Amino acid sequence: MSTTYDRLVEIVAKLHGTPVERFTPEATFADLDVDSLTLVDISIRIERDLGVTVHDSELRPTLTMAGAAELIDAGETV
């Protein structure tokens, strides 16, 4: 997987406390029990740590981790 994917896993694991072994590219945020408030925190952390703007509305519970990494790679840099 990409470096973006790995960094995303680190961000979500740290913010949500999800064990890294639960992550797969096909896992959705819903599969990982990430709630909407945590998704907002994740979008803020992505902007701060990765320098990419990802709007809260783009991070949906049904979005896979691989899809989120692709979204970050395609996002606007700040």
- Residue 77 has φ and ψ, to the nearest 5°, of -80, 145
Domain range for 47 is: 3-77
For the chain, the domain total comes to: 1
Q: pLDDT tens, 3-57?
A: 999 999 999 999 999 998 999 999 999 999 999 999 999 999 999 999 999 987 8
Residue 75 has pLDDT above 90, yes or no: no
DSSP string, 2-14: -HHHHHHHHHHHH
Res 57: pLDDT: 85
- The CATH number of whichever domain residue 69 belongs to comes to 1.10.1200.10
Q: Within 10 Å of residue 2's Cβ, how many Cβ atoms?
A: 13
The residue ranking higher by pLDDT, 30 or 2, is 30
Q: Scan for tokens 């809260």, then name that residue.
A: 56
74 beta partners: none
Whole-angstrom CA distances from 5 to 24, 34, 66 are: 10, 17, 7
Read off the pLDDT band of 1 (50, 70, 90). Answer: low
